[in-house]
Amino acid sequence: MANIFNQILLYEKPLFSWYKVSTPLENEINLPAESCFAYILEGDSQDLTKSGFLATKGTVILSLCGKTVGRSFSVIKTGNLSAIVVHFNREALQKLFDGEKPKFWKELDHPLKKDTYQEDATALVEACFLSIAKFFDHKNALNEEILAVKLKEIILLLLQSGESSNLNLIIRRLFSDKTFSFKEVIDSNLYEPLDLQRLAAMTNNSMASFKRKFNKLYDSTPAKYITQKKLEKARSILSFSQNSIKEVCYDCGFTNPSSFSRMFKDQHGCSPREFRKNLSE
C-alpha cells in the first residue's frame, strides 16, 4: 500500500485526516496535539500501543492527545493501516458552539482514569465515519456550514453514549472548565497502564515540570512511587482473592505478567505465585 495522506480543514484547522499507510513508517505521523477520534477502516491487528490497542478494522480510538495516537500509528509492526481521524481543536469547538456547552454535556465529577480508549464502533458511529469518507471525494463541494454540522453531529453522538463510558467521559473533558489538582489526577491514575509521558500530559505539565512537582509532593520519583503503590495493591489482592496472577497483574496497572512477577520478587523476595503459596502453608 502506498502511503497516502489527505486532510480537510475547518476554521483553518485540521478537522478530518485520512491515513492510508504501510507500517512501520520511517517518520512519526505528526497528528495535532489536540484530542482526536480515529476509526480503523483497515488494519492487520498490529499492536498500536504498549497498552494493547490493536489496528483492528471497525474499531474506534478516542484520545485526549493526538500525539499519543500519532506516535502509536508510527511504531507498529509490518502491515497496512487505513484510518480516518477527527481532530477536536478546542478553539474550533468554542466557535462551533458559540462558547456554550453542547446539549447532553455534563460536568465531570472526578479526573479521567483513561486518556485513550478503544472499542468496537457502533452502527451509528460506523455510518458517521463512512459518510466522512465520502467527503474526501467531494472536497470542492464542502463549505464551513456542512463541516460544522458534521462535527457537531459527532460530538453529540459521543455525548449520547453511556454517561459512565470512557468515550463519553473523554469527550466531556473537552468541554470541562473544572480543574483537578495534580494530586487528584495522580491518585486517580495510580493503577492505570499509563506511561509517564501520558500521565504528565494529563496533568498539563511537561515531563521536566511533572517530575519536579511529583518529587516535591510525594518525596519520590514517579516511577519508583507508582511501581511501589501498584505492588502494594498486588500484594493485597494476592492475599485476599483467588484471581490468577495475570488478572492481578492487569488489575494493578501492569502490562506484562513477566515484568510484574520480576518486580514483585525484587520487592518481596518471592514471586507472586510463591507469595500466595506461602500464605496458604
Both 154 and 116 in a single domain?
A: yes
Q: What is the pTM of this model?
A: 0.75
Of 174, 205, 224, the residue at which a domain comes to its end is 174
For the chain, how many structural domains are there in total? 2
Both 147 and 211 in a single domain?
A: no
Q: What per-residue confidence (pLDDT) applies to 140?
A: 92
Q: What per-residue confidence (pLDDT) applies to 21?
A: 78
Both 226 and 142 in a single domain?
A: no
Both 88 and 198 in a single domain?
A: no
Both 184 and 94 in a single domain?
A: no
Query: What is the tens place of the pLDDT at every residue in 115-137?
Result: 788 889 999 999 999 999 999 99
Query: What is the tens place of the pLDDT at every residue in 190-245?
Result: 988 877 887 888 888 889 999 999 999 999 999 999 999 999 999 999 999 889 99
Q: What per-residue confidence (pLDDT) applies to 199?
A: 86
pLDDT tens over the chain, length 281 residues: 457 689 999 999 999 999 887 766 666 566 665 788 999 998 877 766 555 677 789 999 888 776 555 555 555 567 788 999 999 988 899 999 998 999 889 998 888 877 788 889 999 999 999 999 999 999 999 999 999 999 999 999 999 887 778 888 888 988 888 888 999 999 988 988 877 887 888 888 889 999 999 999 999 999 999 999 999 999 999 999 889 999 999 999 898 899 999 999 999 999 999 999 888 76
Q: What per-residue confidence (pLDDT) applies to 203?
A: 86
As a three-state string, the secondary structure of the chain is CCCEEEEEEECCEEEEEEEEEEECCCCCCCCCCCEEEEEEEEECCCECCCCCCECCCCEEEEECCHHHHHHHHHHCCCEEEEEEEEEECHHHHHHHCCCCCCCCCCCCCCCCCCCEEEEECCHHHHHHHHHHHHHCCCHHHCCHHHHHHHHHHHHHHHHCCCCCCHHHHHHHHHCCCCCCCHHHHHHHCCCCCCCHHHHHHHCCCCHHHHHHHHHHHHCCCHHHHHHHHHHHHHHHHHHHCCCCHHHHHHHCCCCCHHHHHHHHHHHHCCCHHHHHHHHHC
Of 152, 174, 196, the residue at which a domain comes to its end is 174
Both 244 and 132 in a single domain?
A: no
Q: What per-residue confidence (pLDDT) applies to 196?
A: 86
Both 160 and 197 in a single domain?
A: no
In terms of residue numbers, what domain contains 197?
Answer: 179-281
Both 255 and 205 in a single domain?
A: yes
Q: What per-residue confidence (pLDDT) applies to 193?
A: 80
Q: What per-residue confidence (pLDDT) applies to 236?
A: 94
Both 183 and 149 in a single domain?
A: no
Q: What per-residue confidence (pLDDT) applies to 123?
A: 92
Q: What per-residue confidence (pLDDT) applies to 133?
A: 95
Q: What per-residue confidence (pLDDT) applies to 68?
A: 58
Both 146 and 247 in a single domain?
A: no
Both 280 and 246 in a single domain?
A: yes
Of 110, 140, 174, the residue at which a domain comes to its end is 174
Both 134 and 106 in a single domain?
A: yes
